[in-house]
Amino acid sequence: MSGNMIPIAGENKKRICYFFDSDIGNYHYGPGHPMKPHRIRMTHALVMNYGLYKKMEIFRAKPATRKEMAQFHTDDYVDFLSKVTPDNMEEFSKEQTKFNLGDDCPVFDGLFEYCSISAGGSMEGAARLSRDKCDIAVNWAGGLHHAKKAEANGFCYVNDIVLGILELLRYHKRVLYVDIDVHHGDGVEEAFYTTDRVMTCSFHKYGEFFPGTGELRDTGHGKGKHYAVNFPLRDGITDEAYKNIFEPVIMKIMETYQPSAIVLQCGGDSLSGDRLGSFNVSMRGHANCVQFIKSLGLPLLLLGGGGYTIRNVSRTWAYETGLAAGQELCPDIPMNEYYEYFGPTYRLDVPPSNMEDMNVVKYLEKTKIQIFENLRHTIPVPSVGLQAIPRMLHDEMDVDDDLDDPNERKPQRLLEGLIQRDDEFSDSEDEGEGGRRDVQSHKRARRQSPKLNGNGILNIHSGIQNGISQSQHHNGMDFNRITSSHHSPISVDPIEPPPLVAPAPIPPLVDIPMLSQVDQMELEKLTSEALASMEPIQIQNVQQQLSQPPQIVLEEQPTLPTQSSDSNPTLQTTTIQETSKPTPTPIIEQSSQLIQTNISEPSQTIPQPDVVNPSPPHQPNLEDPFVLLKARLDELSSSVSASAAATATATGTGTATATVGDQPAPTTSASDHLELGTMFDNTSLNPNPS
């Protein structure tokens, strides 16, 4: 997709806001009607498949409300548009005549919604330009320049251009409107015919052609005298002739009027071969007007308009969208859902025909000189009285992207605003991380965070702020905290060991999604700092515990000592510094015999808990007396001969795992701990010895 467009050399980068509503293509004027809203959807298909979405922000504007439409149109006209439907149109026969609805402007299903989408995009584009959110706003669904204050006209019902200009006038003193449709922009000119805050300039066919207005002498009235510019043209004008009149006239207007914003209506019926047009302008000649207006460097609102050969209109508007974004589109049309519409050439081009140009050079020069003379009578830079700027009716929340929480899902509005730089290479064709995905993006394997072995950072409490709170939910999942439903310590029965089974792995911490966001290097750093902050247990305290006589309980099943759920104790993990290996005591031999006797009774075995989705066993470097006890029991149970005592004194390098209650205990290395012989003297073990 990146090969479908080439950055234009030396082009100043512009911030582009592109407005599109997918519902616009669902409306239909009726059988045989030349106006096809479907052309907007065809244009959007080319824009997306060329990859232009990477270079601009894409928005679905809020549809205009009745109140917003009433800023220009009369209340009764807007009310009529919102009520009339094909089913009840006979009840509004009088209103249809009054508001000029008929063959050109028929009543169809969803009429008011269609007008709302068109007007909403133009108004929102103008609002974003005024707030300096973009440099160019594009709404190809707009540009309906024939609609009047209380009258539908020329396939147009609501004049979105006038509504957009009114939005610009909230912040801009003077606005220039340029119309390159083959038809005269009579609705816009009429709306601002008596004001000097908007200058209208229209290049159109004149003479026995709809709408029959736009004569050279129509220059405005009253305060707006000489602020309406009309350049009447004849059939067959070519690219070169159009350029020779368009650029000088616009430059003269810029010198005289000095507007602060421009609205350009890009009607596609001025293209060669249009169903209702009579000009001979190619796609590149039409796009040259867009490029020239863009080069002026003012806030620009690009709108659609006429155009009734929809394959040529969609080609041209897609190409002009690329120019606005600073991209030259390749001539080969990419595959899209409307690919067959662009046959047989399947090229992004609208070539001129061999029709005769009726616009002789003498006529064009004479008309241009007369326009220059009219502009001389305008007041240079007319002043505007100071007044408070009214609040915008549809202002949106201005969210600073830098203040967004990186751990929260970003809204689609921000994801659509991601723009790819020209020197930036993406790892996929769809740029799917921004939420704008195509078919290929759903075929990629989902990226997964690396799994953390063992219990993770929750097993070590060092007081370091690591972003993970020590909640009661986390306490219940801590495998080293031994609890019961009665919240009281319970003695561990060493006579009832579990049967010999394979080491039970520890289930992954699937209920703690925040752990997947912990970086592995940060985890190792926090672990090392936690270990360094712990104090080793004095060997004398351990020896005092080992000197107590053994108490063996045969009646109770091994259960788990608990702590109160209301408390949030700090888990203390300590290390024992071993200076010499202790010798085994006689209690080991007694325990070994009892264990061997008990193993032969299968009815007293403890069932193993079911482990769902086990993860690789954890290898802690910490000494835990409880873990050592269970590991030793497994070691003693593995032998039925008299060599159990000898096995107890051996220092192995393997790991042993014991299950405690409903949770598997962490695995540990036998060579890193003290012998279990003397540790087994305590009947009730404290998991947190001091």
Identify the residue whose tokens are 């596609």. 268
* Cα Rg of the chain (Å, integer): 40
Q: Cβ distance 45 to 164 under 8 Å?
A: no
Pairing of strands 327-329, 5-7: antiparallel
Dihedral over alpha carbons 150, 152, 158, 162 (to 10 degrees): -70
The HSE-up count of residue 195 (CA atoms within 13 Å, CB side) is 16
Q: Is 93 buried (19+), middle (13-18) or exposed (0-12) by CB count in 10 A?
A: exposed
Dihedral over alpha carbons 600, 602, 608, 610 (to 10 degrees): 140
Tokens coding 179: 């119309």
Dihedral over alpha carbons 227, 297, 436, 400 (to 10 degrees): -100
Backbone angles phi, psi at 649, to 5 degrees: -85, -10
Q: Is 543 buried (19+), middle (13-18) or exposed (0-12) by CB count in 10 A?
A: exposed
- Three-state helix/strand/coil letters over 551-593: CCCCCCCCCCCCCCCCCCCCCCCECCCCCCCCCCCHHHHHHHH
Residues 6+ apart with CB under 8 A from 367: 216, 231, 232, 245
Q: Among the options 146, 183, 184, 204, which is catalytic?
A: 146
Q: Give catalytic status of residue 146 as yes or no.
A: yes
Q: Cβ distance 558 to 663 under 8 Å?
A: no
State the chain's maximal CA–CA distance in angstroms. Answer: 124
Segment holding 614, helix H or strand E: none
Cis ω before 344 (30° cut-off from 0): yes
Sign of the torsion angle spanned by Cα atoms 596, 602, 605, 609: positive
Dihedral over alpha carbons 251, 253, 256, 257 (to 10 degrees): -130
Catalytically active residues, by annotation: 146
